[in-house]
């Protein structure tokens, strides 16, 4: 019987992970109402008391722009917390799953990033995610770090839900078209997490080492698009499902990053090479369009 401890079960990723991993073992969850994630000693004490065989860290500071001015708070969640969890995982001989970001890369060029490429965050948030990754690697050897991009879900605050709300209330809308990546539903992140851990535990059940699975993996759907393309596909699904939109097609226009300045710089190229994840765990990742259609269907069914 595996003992799984999941941090932040109420977030977009955590909610989907909680649903997906429940059949794998005894699941315990720790939310922000249970413990202050910025208090690493308190978190470690609660997790250690459960004697986990798997720790899943879905807690993260995700306010990219606020991180520029609230650096200490961001560091506590994105760096100090994973460092403490990794240290505990090592002590408990447990596996640690940690979720990271495409923001660790500099975002130049058009070639999909590989896990071995040189990093170069453009923002405080991106640097905190990179430092969190390094902290995990330095403090334990049984870990899976999943670097993902453009996370959204049928619940919570995210690009898909924001675009739909804006399109229902505005006749005109401009969306950035020179940043490219892969929209990743939280559901897919959860599914891959389960599939990866199943293979690791099956290997261990056969009295074989599974340490070769440890490492950094890119996790996203196949294909790429701009934020403008992503929004266009969302609006197409909405119209095909007879959802009333105030937005006029001729007033939905692409703009550049320069036209929409933000406190934190965003990478222009968030393409991720997925070969390592697919080959290591024998997976075939679906297209971002297919995943969006599934997530949209879940949203409209609510």
Residues with a known catalytic role: 125
Between helices 288-300 and 159-169, what is the axis angle to 10°?
A: 60
d(CA 261, CA 180): 17
Question: Taken in order 83, 88, 91, 92, is the CA torsion positive or negative?
Answer: negative
Q: For residue 141, give the DSSP letter.
A: S
CA angle 178, 182, 185 (to 5 degrees): 135
d(CA 74, CA 56): 19
* 282-300: b (≥16 Cβ within 10 Å) or e: ebebeebbebbeebbeebe
Nearest to 220 by CA among 180, 255, 268, 256: 180
As separate numbers, helices (DSSP H) first and strands (DSSP E) second, the chain gives 10, 12
User: Helix (H, G, I), strand (E, B), or coil: what is residue 134?
Assistant: helix
User: Helix (H, G, I), strand (E, B), or coil: what is residue 254?
Assistant: strand
Q: Is 68:74 a contact under the CB 8 Å cutoff?
A: no
The token pair that represents 164 in the structure block: 């739909």
d(CA 41, CA 36): 10
Extended beta strands in 149-219, E state = 151-152, 173-176, 180-181, 184-185, 215-218
Nearest to 219 by CA among 185, 170, 177: 185
Which residues sit opposite 25 in a β-bridge?
2
């Amino acid at each position: 019987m595996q003992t799984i401890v999941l941090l932040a079960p109420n977030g977009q990723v955590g909610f989907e992970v909680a649903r997906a991993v429940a059949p794998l073992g005894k699941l315990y969850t720790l939310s922000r109402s249970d413990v202050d994630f910025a208090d690493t000693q308190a978190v470690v004490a609660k997790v250690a008391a459960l004697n986990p065989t798997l720790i899943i860290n879905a807690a993260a500071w995700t306010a990219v722009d606020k991180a520029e001015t609230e650096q200490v708070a961001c560091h506590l969640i994105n760096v100090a917390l994973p460092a403490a969890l990794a240290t505990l995982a090592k002590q408990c001989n447990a596996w640690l799953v940690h979720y990271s970001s495409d923001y660790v890369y500099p975002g130049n060029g058009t070639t999909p990033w590989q896990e071995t490429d040189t990093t170069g965050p453009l923002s405080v948030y991106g640097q905190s995610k990179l430092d969190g990754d390094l902290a995990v690697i330095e403090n334990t050897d049984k870990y899976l770090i999943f670097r993902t991009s453009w996370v959204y879900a049928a619940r919570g605050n995210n690009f898909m839900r924001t675009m739909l709300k804006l399109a229902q209330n505005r006749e005109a809308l401009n969306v950035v078209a020179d940043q490219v990546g892969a929209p990743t539903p939280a559901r897919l992140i959860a599914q891959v997490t389960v599939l990866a851990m199943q293979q690791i535990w099956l290997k261990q059940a056969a009295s074989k080492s599974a340490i070769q699975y440890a490492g950094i993996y890119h996790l996203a759907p196949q294909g790429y698009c701009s934020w403008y393309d992503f929004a266009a596909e969302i609006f197409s699904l909405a119209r095909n499902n007879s959802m009333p939109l105030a937005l006029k097609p001729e007033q939905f226009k692409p703009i550049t990053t320069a036209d929409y300045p933000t406190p934190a710089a965003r990478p222009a190229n968030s393409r991720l090479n997925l070969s390592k994840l697919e080959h290591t765990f024998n997976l075939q990742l679906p297209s971002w369009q297919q995943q969006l259609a599934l997530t949209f269907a879940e949203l409209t069914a609510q």
